[in-house]
Amino acid sequence: SLSPTERTFIFNEINWCTAQRVSPNNYQEVAEKSGRRSLVHHSSISEHYRKFVELKKQRNLLDFDDILEQAIKFLTEDTQYADARHWKYQDLFVDEFQDVNPLQFALLRSWLGANSSLCVVGDPNQAIYSWNGADSSFLNDFSGYFPEAETVRLRQNFRSTPEILSVSSLLLASDASLFANKPNGPLPTIQSHDNELIEAKNIADRILQKNSESMRWGDQAVLVRTHSQIAVITGALDEKEIPYSIQTEVKDANNNRSSEAVKILTFHASKGLEWKVVHISGLEDGLVPIAHAVSQSERDEERRLLYVALTRAEDEIHLSWSRNRRFGSNRERKPSIFLKELISALNQSPKPTLSQTPKELAKKIRDFRSQWRAGHLIEPEDFSYEERLNLLRELRSSIARVNDTSPENILSDAVLEELIEEMPDSMEKLVLISGLSPSIISRFGGQILELLSED
């Protein structure tokens, strides 16, 4: 007999098969070639899958994926029916295209007629459902499927502050290249705790504090990687009499921010939602990334999953982890490797490709100083100010061109003038410059300091 865990695994594997359009007869071969790990032998899954298909036929039942397969069959085999559908639905729009699976893509292509138009929207950095059959290559290789397609890259982000975007983008190997339309906000916080009970209590205290500052309960959410982490959070909120609701991955259209309750949900369930303040709990190795994510592709998906969780926040993110967590028995934990990467990356200054490197720009300053010292300039201090200002403007313009935005979105004129007046010589002093956002400091602070250097 099968354990509950094995039954759930087989059920999920059958879902993957139908999404991938894999039949019971070829499942074992496909699973072995693709290296799918299994709690149950592949041959046993094939047999259960075959019985499941036969049982549906005997009872004259269809599941959701069967309905999609039937739709594809009608559209491809009945020309008259297909012509009617193509005439009625000529303009198609698909959102979250990075999560489309082969079955859905086949249906989409069947829906397209000679006069159809198609618009899809997707973000490859939010592809988090490959375990369930989704295939982001349909988005990444879209122009290969539709050679006449035009790609429009959406760079503006209207949800999150520059600080949240800057920190979350550090997780991605690819260039997220998003620019915030919102003003600056607080930097994300990171806290460690002795155990999960203290961590949950701290989260509850912070939620209470935000509520006392006129933040509605429904404007806050607690995100966790697994369902097993939810109980300790609800216990802490119960103790503080904080109203909450546990959100599943099946979204209720009526379950929105207006309901006065803190939302508790997994990273996956948070997809497509947003809150003013997000508390992310359990950023520990074994949870983030999850322990069974072993291959590079699986760990990359875990990375994108955390990116999704981080970008649910509009104004504030609070990250935490526990040095000990009880899973049956008490276990010592280590911080997530992703958390370590965030902390490390925030201390560096990634350099984009510029028309002039920081060293070249700094050399211009040194050349000017040598002229000044040689007595070639009559008013060295005034000229030095203007020269530095021009060099900072060059840097600002170069960064803006690389990131496809206006120079003022990178650094305002007022900030440039304050930089020259204050002449900061360290990251710590850069932070004191009003109007200079932490995201700009983390990404370009090193270049700014090099231009202002007295050496």
- Amino acid, res. 240: K
Q: 311 and 248 in contact (C-beta within 8 Å)?
A: no
Instruction: Name the CATH superfamily, with its identifier, for domain 162-347.
Output: P-loop containing nucleotide triphosphate hydrolases (3.40.50.300)
For 348-393, the pLDDT digits (tens) are: 433 333 444 444 444 444 443 343 333 333 333 444 666 777 778 8
For 190-214, the pLDDT digits (tens) are: 889 999 999 999 999 999 999 999 9
For 43-63, the pLDDT digits (tens) are: 999 999 999 999 999 999 999
Please tell me whether the peptide bond between 289 and the residue prior to it is cis, using omega within 30 degrees of 0. yes
435 secondary structure, DSSP code: T
d(CA 97, CA 253): 21
Q: How confident is the model at residue 173 (pLDDT cuts 50, 70, 90)?
A: low
pTM exceeds 0.75 for this model: no
Q: Where in the chain is the domain with CATH 1.10.150.80?
A: 376-452
Instruction: Return the CATH number of the domain spanning residue range 376-452.
Output: 1.10.150.80
Q: Where in the chain is the domain with CATH 3.40.50.300?
A: 162-347
For 128-138, the pLDDT digits (tens) are: 999 889 999 99
- pLDDT mean across residues, the chain: 84
Pairing between β-strand 324-327 and β-strand 329-332 as defined by DSSP bridges: antiparallel
Count of CB atoms situated within 10 Å of the CB of 74: 13
Count of CB atoms situated within 10 Å of the CB of 197: 16
For 302-347, the pLDDT digits (tens) are: 999 999 999 999 999 999 999 999 876 677 889 999 988 887 655 5
d(CA 285, CA 331): 12
